[in-house]
A and B are shown apart, each in its own frame.
Chain A
Amino acid sequence: MCNVKNVLLVGVGGQGIILASKVLSSGLIDSGYDVKMSEVHGMAQRGGSVTTQVRYGEKVYSPIIGKGQADIIVAFERVEALRWLEYLKPGGKIVINDYAIPSATVLSGKEAYPENIIEKMEAKYEDITVIDAANEAIALGNIKAQNIIMLGGLIKSLGIEEINWDKALKDNVKEKFVELNMKAVKKGLESGVKEKAL
């Protein structure tokens, strides 16, 4: 299924990953792709690791992505990028939010939050873009807009800017947040993501 693109969004429960995936999927559908999106619910809502997978192309069968097959991993949190690395295909792209959320095991002192994750990844992977989405979102007036800034970075990476993302936002976001999120997408698009054919 070489014409199918595999996108993996990873982070921590509460970061708005599912909403970002919905907006992405809805934009892709509007432009005629077959799309399957898979998400993990349940206990993961409570501070656990969360992932959604979006696959799009002419015809998609499996809703889940195999190891070594993701064209791109978008990590909303630093350690979560590491957790899912084996899903990236050789030469795949990583877009990472320079943001740390300590886990329960870190807070209780059982484990230390690892240092220099991004540097270590940059030494092994060629195509990494780092976005300071938290601070950019704060500058826009709401730290919660991190997710849509990351979505902007993803859109740029996938080279699908021509899709009507404002409409996708309007279809999926509460009215009072639409304007904020439109700004957030733009921020993401300008965030220095290298555009390269996947």
Chain B
Amino acid sequence: MKKLMTGNEAIARGFYEAGGSIACAYPGTPSTEVLENIALYKDIYSEWAPNEKVALEVAIGSSIAGARSLAAMKHVGVNVAADPLMTFGYTGVNGGMVLVSADDPGMHSSQNEQDNRYYAKFAKIAMIEPSDSQEAKDFMKDAMEISEKFDVPVLYRVTTRICHSKTLVEFSDREEVGIKKYEKNIAKFVATPGNGRKLHVVVEDKLKKMEEFSNETRLNQVEWNDKKVGVITSGISYQYAKEVFGDNVSYLKLGFTHPLPFAKIEDFAKQVETLYVIEELEPYIEEQIKARGIDCIGKEKISNLGELNPDIIASALLGTEGEVAAAVAELKEDVIGRPPTLCAGCPHRGFFYTLSKKKNVMITGDIGCYTLGSAEPLNAMDTCICMGASISAGHGAQKAFNFHNVDKRVVSVIGDSTFFHTGILSLVDVMYNKGNSITVILDNRITGMTGHQQNPGTGYTLMGEETNQIDIPSVCKAIGVKNIIVVNPLDLNANEEALNKALASDEPSVIITQWPCALKKFSKEDKERFDCTPKTYEVKEDKCKQCKMCLKSGCPAISFDEVAKIDKTMCVGCSVCAQVCPFDAIEKVGE
């Protein structure tokens, strides 16, 4: 059977077919759908972890216990998981273990475009790079076999265009592998210095053996055509190269990319007149083969900035510039910006609206939908670094202001899922080190940005079971916070009161805003706790004084054409605009 599948769906299918049984992840674009699809296979136990370090450690534990396991995350997630990864590279596995790293060249939805292939080299583990969905599925079986054969975790490196492109996939049946026998092995799995020093020797030996394998495996293939030009490439870059050169040049297509097959590369290089290395982002392959004395053309022609595509390759290596007709250039002058915005009815908007009016405040932000609070017209954010940094960077900033007698308060904003991810520890730091920054936990009852994944605060697991729901106010209390204020972020007066109270105090405070995401399917608990009756608001045109105050809330449902207008299909009745309007011109429909 052939089916059109995204790379993420194919990775899930591959894990199923390879007899995988335990999978864990924290959602992050472009990796999120790997676990969402694994959850559809009932032969696999799958779960969301609060962060990537925990996800990898769950997979590590199940591998040590003997099960084939997988952890999936986006590129920056591997930074969070780097600590266990480095040591797991030393101990090795029992059941096969794969870490899917979904990189985001071009930063479609990320804060940087790091090339995670260096993590494989750094952690001294095997790496596999599929170039389409069929390979994303097929190579998973190879990955599990390699992991068990060489006693090493495998970095399964994909990129946005692999994850989110759909290409045809032919299915196979699941191979039932069960669980390998677990035997206590202190010298292998207890990484004390004494054991670690021995394991390092073992790792170096594994790398040599894996390099031999890399030279032999069919994952690294030569396609001989004309030998004037040879191209070494991997992942999606292979497809782009084929698009440009077709069957006119020879290829060394690499699917197993750590350790690299240097003997095979040397042999290929010798037989071609000109050697190109075509790779996206960093010169990972190029650097290593140049270090071995093999001459090639790479990053001096193809930039390490942004996402690669066939156009870039064609103009860099063939000198064919893409033509943009004058007609297009002229018409393009009319193009308006279309930045992403907080949704109509987003509960964060109300809080950000109030917060944006506060003077002499630095707002440290975090990773999630609410990062959009930084956009016009709210402009309610000063920083955004990585998950959890809002609270700890905010604490640092507040300490710096206090230390130097600068009269400025810091408000850190973080989402519910991100609070569980790494924010909890940052709040521990604020309390332990006697900070006095204000933390706002924007609890929209779901993980919003990645498309509604459950988290420890929602009361449901990835597999759809009801579970223990972590109560954020109680957690804050346990950490030692005394000033805890819970507000409905759609109530602007309540926001104002909460912020004033927190700003008036020299002590640390936590404000928790609670209202479900406007796009969320309400859970049973949501229906009990929140007013979920559908409603909309409209502008009474005779009362509108054209002051445009309502536009300052930044709601995409409100436009202005002589008078303010509310798009009925978008409005969910959050009422923020009605509270903002000084002339009571915005009213609930049907009252």
Query: Across the interface, do B451 and A45 meet the contact criterion of CB distance under 8 Å?
Result: yes
Query: Across the interface, do B30 and A41 meet the contact criterion of CB distance under 8 Å?
Result: yes
In the bound complex, what is the Cα–Cα distance between A75 and B513 (angstroms)?
Answer: 39
When the two chains form the complex, which single residue of B30, B165, B327, B559 contacts A102, counting CB atoms closer than 8 Å?
B559
Q: Is the interface of A mostly helix, strand, loop or mixed?
A: mixed
Minimum Cβ distance to chain A for residue B322 (Å): 4
Determine, out of B36-44, B236-244, B273-281, the stretch whose residues face the partner at the interface. B236-244
Interface string of A97-135 (1 = CB under 8 A from B): 000001111111111111001001100110000000000
In the bound complex, what is the Cα–Cα distance between A124 and B333 (angstroms)?
Answer: 14
Chain A interface size range: 35 or more
A157 on the interface (CB 8 Å rule)? no
Query: Across the interface, do B246 and A43 meet the contact criterion of CB distance under 8 Å?
Result: no
In the bound complex, what is the Cα–Cα distance between A104 and B108 (angstroms)?
Answer: 19
Interface string of A26-45 (1 = CB under 8 A from B): 10010000111111111111
Minimum Cβ distance to chain A for residue B477 (Å): 33
Query: Across the interface, do B239 and A103 meet the contact criterion of CB distance under 8 Å?
Result: no
Query: Across the interface, do B331 and A124 meet the contact criterion of CB distance under 8 Å?
Result: yes
Query: Across the interface, do B168 and A104 meet the contact criterion of CB distance under 8 Å?
Result: no
Minimum Cβ distance to chain B for residue A33 (Å): 9
When the two chains form the complex, which single residue of A12, A63, A108 contacts B338, counting CB atoms closer than 8 Å?
A12
Q: Which residue of B lies closest to A25 (CB)?
A: B4
Q: Which residue of B lies closest to A144 (CB)?
A: B569
When the two chains form the complex, which single residue of B2, B167, B314, B331 contacts A85, counting CB atoms closer than 8 Å?
B331
Minimum Cβ distance to chain A for residue B448 (Å): 9
When the two chains form the complex, which single residue of A34, A49, A105 contacts B168, counting CB atoms closer than 8 Å?
A34
Query: Across the interface, do B340 and A46 meet the contact criterion of CB distance under 8 Å?
Result: yes
Minimum Cβ distance to chain A for residue B201 (Å): 43
Query: Across the interface, do A108 and B377 meet the contact criterion of CB distance under 8 Å?
Result: yes
B341 on the interface (CB 8 Å rule)? yes
A160 on the interface (CB 8 Å rule)? no
B152 on the interface (CB 8 Å rule)? no
B428 on the interface (CB 8 Å rule)? no
Determine, out of B117-125, B368-376, B532-540, the stretch whose residues face the partner at the interface. B368-376
Query: Across the interface, do A117 and B551 meet the contact criterion of CB distance under 8 Å?
Result: no
Contact A47-B556, Cβ < 8 Å, known A79-B338, A104-B376: yes
Q: Is the interface of B mostly helix, strand, loop or mixed?
A: loop
Determine, out of A64-72, A148-156, A174-182, A186-194, the stretch whose residues face the partner at the interface. A64-72
Which residues of A67-89 are within 8 A (CB) of B? 67-68, 79-80, 82-83, 85-86, 88
B101 on the interface (CB 8 Å rule)? no
Residues of the B chain whose Cβ atoms lie less than 8 Å from the Cβ of A120 = 331, 334
Query: Across the interface, do B556 and A104 meet the contact criterion of CB distance under 8 Å?
Result: yes
Residues of the A chain whose Cβ atoms lie less than 8 Å from the Cβ of B491 = none
Residues of the A chain whose Cβ atoms lie less than 8 Å from the Cβ of B335 = 79, 82-83, 114
Query: Across the interface, do A47 and B338 meet the contact criterion of CB distance under 8 Å?
Result: yes
Residues of the A chain whose Cβ atoms lie less than 8 Å from the Cβ of B330 = 124
Residues of the A chain whose Cβ atoms lie less than 8 Å from the Cβ of B449 = 42-43
Contact A63-B239, Cβ < 8 Å, known A82-B331, A107-B560: yes
B356 on the interface (CB 8 Å rule)? no
Contact A111-B331, Cβ < 8 Å, known A29-B2, A45-B451: no
B195 on the interface (CB 8 Å rule)? no
A139 on the interface (CB 8 Å rule)? no
> Which of A39, A43, A86 has its CB near the most chain B CB atoms (within 10 A)?
A43
Query: Across the interface, do B332 and A82 meet the contact criterion of CB distance under 8 Å?
Result: yes
Q: Which residue of B lies closest to A113 (CB)?
A: B336
When the two chains form the complex, which single residue of A45, A114, A121, A143 contacts B569, counting CB atoms closer than 8 Å?
A143
Query: Across the interface, do A117 and B324 meet the contact criterion of CB distance under 8 Å?
Result: no
Query: Across the interface, do A82 and B334 meet the contact criterion of CB distance under 8 Å?
Result: yes
Minimum Cβ distance to chain A for residue B108 (Å): 5
When the two chains form the complex, which single residue of B240, B322, B339, B558 contacts A62, counting CB atoms closer than 8 Å?
B240
In the bound complex, what is the Cα–Cα distance between A66 and B307 (angstroms)?
Answer: 13
Query: Across the interface, do B109 and A105 meet the contact criterion of CB distance under 8 Å?
Result: no
B478 on the interface (CB 8 Å rule)? no
In the bound complex, what is the Cα–Cα distance between A66 and B313 (angstroms)?
Answer: 11
Query: Across the interface, do B376 and A61 meet the contact criterion of CB distance under 8 Å?
Result: no
Minimum Cβ distance to chain A for residue B319 (Å): 15
B227 on the interface (CB 8 Å rule)? no
B264 on the interface (CB 8 Å rule)? no
In the bound complex, what is the Cα–Cα distance between A64 and B311 (angstroms)?
Answer: 10
B453 on the interface (CB 8 Å rule)? no
Query: Across the interface, do A105 and B161 meet the contact criterion of CB distance under 8 Å?
Result: no
Query: Across the interface, do B331 and A121 meet the contact criterion of CB distance under 8 Å?
Result: yes
> Which of A88, A102, A114 has its CB near the most chain B CB atoms (within 10 A)?
A102
Minimum Cβ distance to chain B for residue A165 (Å): 16
Contact A46-B560, Cβ < 8 Å, known A37-B165, A104-B554, A120-B334: no
Query: Across the interface, do A64 and B161 meet the contact criterion of CB distance under 8 Å?
Result: yes
A1 on the interface (CB 8 Å rule)? yes
Query: Across the interface, do B323 and A68 meet the contact criterion of CB distance under 8 Å?
Result: yes
Query: Across the interface, do A48 and B240 meet the contact criterion of CB distance under 8 Å?
Result: no
Residues of the A chain whose Cβ atoms lie less than 8 Å from the Cβ of B132 = 36, 63
In the bound complex, what is the Cα–Cα distance between A25 and B4 (angstroms)?
Answer: 8
Residues of the A chain whose Cβ atoms lie less than 8 Å from the Cβ of B338 = 12, 47-49, 79-80, 83, 103-105
In the bound complex, what is the Cα–Cα distance between A40 and B109 (angstroms)?
Answer: 9
Query: Across the interface, do B336 and A103 meet the contact criterion of CB distance under 8 Å?
Result: yes
Residues of the B chain whose Cβ atoms lie less than 8 Å from the Cβ of A108 = 376-377, 551, 554
In the bound complex, what is the Cα–Cα distance between A104 and B344 (angstroms)?
Answer: 11
Contact A25-B166, Cβ < 8 Å, known A41-B108, A47-B340, A61-B240: yes
When the two chains form the complex, which single residue of B239, B309, B339, B551 contacts A66, counting CB atoms closer than 8 Å?
B309
Query: Across the interface, do B334 and A79 meet the contact criterion of CB distance under 8 Å?
Result: yes
Residues of the A chain whose Cβ atoms lie less than 8 Å from the Cβ of B323 = 68
Contact A85-B332, Cβ < 8 Å, known A102-B559, A143-B569: yes
In the bound complex, what is the Cα–Cα distance between A83 and B309 (angstroms)?
Answer: 18
In the bound complex, what is the Cα–Cα distance between A68 and B311 (angstroms)?
Answer: 10
In the bound complex, what is the Cα–Cα distance between A49 and B340 (angstroms)?
Answer: 8
Minimum Cβ distance to chain A for residue B373 (Å): 12
A residues bordering B, Cβ < 8 Å? 1, 12-13, 25-26, 29, 34-49, 60-64, 66-68, 79-80, 82-83, 85-86, 88, 90, 102-114, 117, 120-121, 124-125, 143
Top 6 A-B pairs, shortest CB-CB distance? A42-B109, A63-B165, A114-B334, A62-B243, A103-B338, A48-B340
Contacts A41-B164, A45-B451 given; 10 further ones with Cβ under 8 A?
Answer: A29-B2, A46-B343, A68-B323, A85-B332, A102-B559, A103-B336, A105-B337, A121-B331, A125-B327, A143-B569
B residues bordering A, Cβ < 8 Å? 2, 4, 29-30, 108-109, 132, 161, 164-168, 236, 239-240, 242-243, 246, 309-311, 314, 322-325, 327-328, 330-332, 334-343, 369, 372, 375-377, 449, 451, 548, 551, 554, 556, 558-560, 569
Complex A-B: 17 CB contacts under 8 Å: A12-B338, A37-B166, A39-B165, A41-B29, A47-B338, A47-B341, A60-B167, A62-B239, A63-B239, A64-B165, A67-B322, A67-B324, A104-B375, A105-B338, A107-B554, A108-B554, A143-B569
